[in-house]
Amino acid sequence: MQTSSSFYFEPASIEAIRGFVASFARKLDFTGQLSFDWIQHVDGKLSVLECNPRASEFDGLVWVRLDGEGPKEMQSNSLPAFMHRSAAQAQRFVWQSTWKGRAIDALENFLDAQHTHFVHRGLVRSPRHRRTAEATVSRSAGSLKVDYHGHADQSGLLYRLFESPREVERAYFDAAAAGTAQLEYRYRNGSALYFTLHFSPIGESLTRVHGTLHVENRWAPRWGISLFAWPFLRRVLRQDQAIVEAQATNRQRFRREEVISTELDLVRPALDAVWTSRTSHLIDEHECVRKVRMLL
């Protein structure tokens, strides 16, 4: 695995996290060659198995650097700004699953909206109501941001049931929190929604996925989200899982390790550069902006 800047995530109770980070900090001088860094949640307690990464707690998850780099006491303020936009009390649920695919492919699927009208047909967008939109891809210093313009509303059932006219639709990825991507939706009525997925590589083609939903300035109690919205969101996530796993199956079937990327790929070239650290393409201070017109 190429995990030069990736994290491993594990949910934990707030009571257990503080003690875990303190005990883990005492073991940071461990040295040795490790194939995987692992955290195991056993009987309500957090245990560490042979690893030497940096660990911290943020937003109900333990964050562990797979490369062991960075300060010995990794602080949440070292995470990118988009992770700090929502308050802890705005969190509505934490979800987890395991996908048979690569984290990099799952990240691309989450960040690029071009698949939504046919993979999530009717739920997120309808292929019968596609309209011209513009995506602005901004890349700078190891970060990636995609702004979608042109649609204040959306044709899918999820929007019609639970949303209102938007002002902002934006996707984020940053090397400082590699493995994490976020969708931000801001609405004209002052409310906001943040859907964040954390992808932990636990094998060459196996990824642990944790998701959180934060809702601000909108009446959306936990029980309401669980009862009414979650069945639809779960369906969308399972559709994403299916397409990522199909991609992994095809790669194995045709024995192709390298991804074929064309000018039609909105985010993949930038994502590859950050994830694999094969180039210094994004490790500079100059912002690169690309604008793409598409049908969504």
- Are 37 and 183 contained in the same domain? no
Q: Which residue has the higher pLDDT, 83 or 282?
A: 83
Classify residue 155: in a domain, yes or no: yes
Q: Give residue for tokens 């991804």.
A: 259
Classify residue 180: in a domain, yes or no: yes
Domain that holds residue 277: 81-295
Which distant-in-sequence residues (6+ apart) come within 8 Å of 100 by Cβ? 205, 206, 245, 248
- Are 123 and 170 contained in the same domain? yes
- Are 143 and 92 contained in the same domain? yes
The band of 273, judged by pLDDT with boundaries at 50, 70 and 90, is confident
For the ranges 48-57, 80-89, 218-227, 254-263, the maximum mean pLDDT occurs at: 218-227
Classify residue 62: in a domain, yes or no: yes
- Are 88 and 55 contained in the same domain? no
Find the CATH number of the domain harbouring 197. Answer: 3.90.380.10
- Are 110 and 239 contained in the same domain? yes
- Are 191 and 220 contained in the same domain? yes
Q: What is the pLDDT of residue 219?
A: 94
DSSP state for residue 190 in the 8-state scheme: S
- Are 102 and 173 contained in the same domain? yes
Domain boundary among 55, 78, 101: 78
Domain boundary among 78, 102, 123: 78
**What's the rounded Cα separation, in Å, for the pair 248 and 78?**
32
Q: Provide the sign of the torsion angle of the four alpha carbons 119, 124, 126, 131, taken in this order.
A: negative
Please give the tally of structural domains in the chain: 2
- Are 70 and 182 contained in the same domain? no
**What's the rounded Cα separation, in Å, for the pair 62 and 46?**
10
Classify residue 2: in a domain, yes or no: no
- Are 145 and 220 contained in the same domain? yes
Which distant-in-sequence residues (6+ apart) come within 8 Å of 142 by Cβ? 174, 175, 176, 274, 282, 283
> How much is the average pLDDT of 15-24?
56
Domain boundary among 48, 78, 108: 78
> How much is the average pLDDT of 219-225?
95
- Are 153 and 267 contained in the same domain? yes
pTM: 0.82
